Amino acid sequence: MSLRHPNLKLLLVTLGEKGCRYYTKDFHGSVEAFNVNAVDTTGAGDSFICGFLSQIVDDQSILEDEERLRKVLRFSNACGAITTTKKGAIPALPSDSEALRRCNNLLSCSCLLLFCF
């Protein structure tokens, strides 16, 4: 069984401490994880997805631009990573500023302005 089909816009595979992989009909690749001292992984995947959705909700053209998609996935990885550094899912969810600080090595975070928490 193949996960690819003609209408697929994006397939994401989260890899925990190894980051994530992405597949579209036009490109694919991986985005590295952030190295953190994990305390509790509860909620990390939810935080990753929320960070991702918060970035594409108003501009789904990001899915067609690999450079912009990689920036969004870097932000999403930061959200997931930060969540693992504290106990509990809800108390550990990062703010947008926490995630952006973790992404400080990005050339531009201008597309990363809102977060869902």
pLDDT tens, position by position, 26-77: 999 999 999 999 999 999 999 999 999 999 999 999 999 999 999 999 999 9
Neighbour count for residue 10 (Cβ, 10 Å): 16
Element at 58 (helix H, strand E): none
What pLDDT sits at residue 117?
Answer: 41
Q: Any catalytic annotation for residue 40?
A: no
Instruction: Let me know: does 51 contact 76? Beta carbons within 8 Å.
Output: yes
Which pTM was predicted? 0.82
Q: Which of 26, 40, 46, 58 is catalytic?
A: 46
User: What does the pLDDT average to over 73-91?
Assistant: 90
Q: Round the average pLDDT of the chain to a whole number and report it.
A: 85
CB within 8 Å of 78: residues ≥ 6 apart? 34, 51, 94, 99, 100, 102, 103
What SS3 class is residue 25? coil
